[in-house]
Chains A and B, each alone.
Chain A
Amino acid sequence: MVSVIEQEDNAMTLAPSTARGAAIHVAQVSVSYPAGKTGRKVILDELELEIAPGEFVVLLGETGCGKSTLLRMILGQERPTTGEITVAGRKVERVSAACGYVPQKYSLFPDRTVLSNLTMGPLTSGYHILGRLKPGFRAFRKQVREQAMQKLERMGLHAADAEKYPHQLSGGMQQRVAIAQALMMKPEILLMDEAFSALDPGTRASLQKMLRTIWLETKPTILFVTHNTAEALFLATRIIVLAKQTTPGRCGARVALDLKLPDTGMSLKKHGQEFLDLVDHIELCSQGFEAAAELTANFEGNVR
């Protein structure tokens, strides 16, 4: 395991604390909910995290460790109990167009065609309801539609699919459109919540490749939540593992592992045993914060 990390010494190291101007900064964030008559259930415990612009970060962790909660807070859908989250230097207080978002399901508006789904963002943000009466709107709409058709083609869909409704597309096609829909807004930050989890392995692999290509071309900051360690290693330039604390008196998840990976991504085919060792290491780390700390303590320079 150590060798794997050492061999990739140019990249595969503990993620350094980024400078000011982080795309996303999670500062001492804790989340807890009332549980029972007097107690509170702690989900996240004093989480500290910085994501630099252009990073492809994959958030891993076991079910219920707070990955999706963290994502929802970065979106502005939920508020931390304590601490603060800033996105592009601004404190997150409500959901806004600061981040693009691709959820696992219900990504597309079922009442709109594919084309209408794609154009909705730019048209809505560009011209609000009365603004559509302005003379420039038609030309703008035409331009947005052309962009949408290009994006559709770029995602591997046909022009004929533009007039279809989401229910007429397969799950994989729907997620391609969902990604295109988010990208139509040219987001600097893209949040993806288990976006490929419901897909079959083949479709999933092709979407992973497509997403990596998009990232390499435009380098948006991507925060991708998944359960799948292999997917994380293939996609990410940085993997963050959240794990629950098991020490009596402490509860809630913390960052158990923060690992920087090469920009080229990792796969079983290219990296063989090293890939498998890393999968093992990550999965062990995700089982508990203390166990992860013990494991990573052995790896000089890789402990956080």
Chain B
Amino acid sequence: MARFSPFDIQARPNRLLGQVLSAVLFVVCLGLYMHASKVRHAENPEDRIVPNAQQLRSGVHASVLEPAEEDDYIAPEGASKWTRFQHSMIWKDTASSGRRFGISLLLFLPAILLALHIGLYPYFNAGFMRFVLFFDKIVALSLLPILFIAFGIDELSKIALIFIGVAPTLILDVIQMVKAVPQEQVVKSFTLGANDFDVTYRVVLRQIAPQIINSLRLNLKPIMLFLFAGEMIAASDGLAYRIAIMRRHMGMDVILPYVLWVALLLFLVDLSLRLLNKRMHPWFQS
């Protein structure tokens, strides 16, 4: 086994040691949680602040197999788990949050194209750059009341919040990517008979596409942050709405599975984007 030398920059843990080290903090957290749960349950067997394994199991069961509200569709007695899952609380909330998340991602497409043009075309740059820089400095959450007043408390205000919160940063990021494309490539394209459209979409966009996907990956958390802010303040469904509701009832047995579920969803979206990038842009990996 390699010598354990954490303060040696040139030391490399071997594979086994690396895996053990990466698991240590998870085990420590789990141990601390279980200890805290045991202590609290020794004082109060009905404690809901730090639910034990049994409470968590029933929380997961309620989330995954039971409907959210009493007036929601209730699957018949002998229905399969899959059928019950499709009418469950977590499914309903995931679908609602997912819809908002998906619409926001779609809205980023025109923002990315705008950034591409700002980065490449001097006239676009002159017209939009300062406005984007100004908007980037506005704290999106401070606009929330204005959005609720202007658009009501429906979907539009929540999606607008995500867009306003993330789009300026994304646009500035893409502009930097465009500017980083060597000028030689643009000039060469023109000498090869390309027109402005070709240079924009078939040279520059193609080259920065993997970086745009990486930028979206890095922005997944801010997107979720603004989504959660919107849902926690005004929504009738959604993952953050459920967490906010459960907080009122101190329903940690549901909140904790929800938190882990959101993390898993984000991990899966990130993984999908990473794999998509790897498959679509093999040249970028180098």
Contacts and interface: CB of A to CB of B under 8 A. Distances in A.
A124 B184 contact: no
B157 to A, nearest CB: 38
A168 B182 CA distance: 19
A101 B184 CA distance: 9
Given A106-B182, A109-B203, A181-B192, A124 B187 contact: no
Nearest to A168: B286
B219 interface: no
A165 B198 CA distance: 20
A38 B283 CA distance: 48
Given A109-B207, A110-B207, A165-B283, A101 B187 contact: yes
Interface string A199-223: 0000000000000000000000000
A75 interface: yes
A77 to B, nearest CB: 5
Given A109-B203, A111-B207, A103 B188 contact: yes
A125 B192 contact: yes
B191 A95 contact: yes
A107 interface: yes
A105 B191 contact: no
A186 to B, nearest CB: 11
A123 to B, nearest CB: 9
Contacts of B198: 124, 128-129
A195 to B, nearest CB: 11
Interface string A161-201: 00001111000000000000110010100000000000000
A124 B188 CA distance: 12
Interface residues of B, number: 25
Interface residues of A, number: 33
* Interface-central residue, A76, A105, A122, A124, by most chain B CB under 10 Å: A124
A124 B192 contact: yes
Contacts of B185: 106, 109
Contacts of B57: none
Nearest to B192: A121
Contacts of A128: 195, 197-198
Contacts of B189: 124
Interface string A119-160: 011101110110000000000000000000000000000000
Given A107-B184, A111-B283, A124-B198, A97 B193 contact: yes
Contact of A103 (B184, B202, B283, B284): B184
Main secondary structure of the interface of B (DSSP, over half): helix
B35 interface: no
Interface string A94-106: 1111011101011
B191 A97 contact: yes
B283 A99 contact: no
A100 B207 contact: no
Interface in B113-131: none
B179 interface: no
B283 A167 contact: yes
Interface string B151-187: 0000000000000000000000000000000111101
Nearest to A167: B286
A182 B183 CA distance: 17
A97 B192 contact: yes
B33 interface: no
B202 A95 contact: no
Nearest to A95: B190
Contacts of A107: 184, 188
Contacts of A129: 197-198, 202
Contact of A99 (B191, B206, B284, B286): B191
Contacts of B183: 77
Contacts of A126: 193
A185 B191 CA distance: 9
A182 B191 contact: yes
Given A77-B187, A110-B207, A120-B194, 15 more contacts: A96-B191, A97-B190, A106-B185, A107-B188, A109-B203, A109-B207, A111-B206, A111-B283, A124-B193, A128-B195, A128-B198, A165-B282, A166-B283, A168-B286, A185-B191
- What 8 A-B pairs have minimum CB-CB distances, sorted nearest first? A125-B193, A121-B192, A106-B182, A95-B190, A106-B184, A103-B184, A101-B191, A97-B193
Interface of B: 182-185, 187-195, 197-198, 202-203, 206-207, 209, 281-284, 286
Interface of A: 75-77, 94-97, 99-101, 103, 105-107, 109-111, 120-122, 124-126, 128-129, 165-168, 181-182, 185, 187
6 contacts: A75-B191, A97-B193, A107-B188, A109-B207, A126-B193, A185-B193
